[in-house]
Amino acid sequence: MYRPDCALVITPHPDDAEIGCGGTVSKWIAEGTKVFYVLCTNGDKGSDDPEMTSERLAKIRYEEQEEAAKVMGVSEVVHLGYPDGGLNDDAEFRGKLVHAIRKFQPEVVFSTDPMRRSFYLHRDHRMCGQVSLDAAFPFARDRLHYPEHLTEESLQTHKVADILFWGAEEPDTYIDITDSINQKITSLEKHVSQVGSDIGKYLKDSSMRTASKWESKDSSVVYAEGFRRVQIRR
C-alpha cells in the first residue's frame, strides 16, 4: 500500500479511529502525510456510570478525542456532533462527508467496514462506513451533487483513490505498525472514559494476531493493521 500525501479518517465515535487505524495514521504522519479526522458522533451514550449525563460525557469525549489526535499529529478534527446512535443514511449526513472530502481532497479515506456478517456491528459503524463509501463515490466526484459546495464555498469536486475499511472480516491490505504501535497505544490511552489499564496489552495482542495473517510480510513485522481496500481511482 502506497503512502498518500493526504488522508481523511471518517470515524463514528471518539476512540474508534485510534483502535481501527491509529498505528497507520501515526506512521503515515511521521512520514509526511497530512491526516484529517471527521468525528461523526459525540459519543454521549458510551458510559455505564449512573451519575453520568449525556451533556457531560459529550464534553469529556470531545476533549479526549482532541488530545488523542494531538498525540498522532492529526492536522484537524471536524466534529459533526451527531448524538451517539444518531447516524442515518440521509442527504444531510452524506452532504457533510462530501463537504469534508471536497475540502481536504484526500487520496485515501479510512472508515469502518459496514459489511461484516459474522458478528454484531454497532449501527453507527454501519451507517458511517456505508455513507462514507457513497460520499467518496460518486457524490464527491459529481458536481451536480451538493452544487452549493462549489457555487457558495468555492470547493472543488474530488475523486478519492482508495477507501480502507477497518474492522474487516477478511482484510486484503496490511500495514506494518511495528514502529508506531506505542503511539497508537498512547493515543488510545487519552480516552480515559472508555479504556482500562490493560489497553496496551490488548492492542499489542490484537496487532500481533493481525500480523500473523499477513502471509507476505517481512520477517521484521511484529504488529500490523489490516483493512479491506476499495479502489475507486485506478
pLDDT at 217: 84
Q: With a cut of 50, list the residues of the chain below it in pLDDT.
A: none
Kindly report the CATH number assigned to the domain that includes residue 216.
Answer: 3.40.50.10320
- The answer to the question of residue 95 being in a domain is yes
Query: Domain for residue 1, yes or no?
Result: no
| Residue 61 in grid coordinates | 469525549
Return the C-alpha cell found at 82: 451527531
8-state DSSP, 161: S
Confidence (pLDDT) at 181: 97
Domain that holds residue 89: 6-231
Please give the helix or strand (H or E) that residue 41 lies within, else none. strand 34-41
Give tens-digit pLDDT for 64-93.
Answer: 999 999 999 999 999 999 999 999 999 999
**How many domains in the chain?**
1
Say what the pLDDT of residue 218 is. Answer: 87
- State the alpha helices, DSSP H only, in the chain: 16-30, 54-72, 91-104, 123-134, 148-151, 181-189, 199-213
CA distance 160 to 231: 9
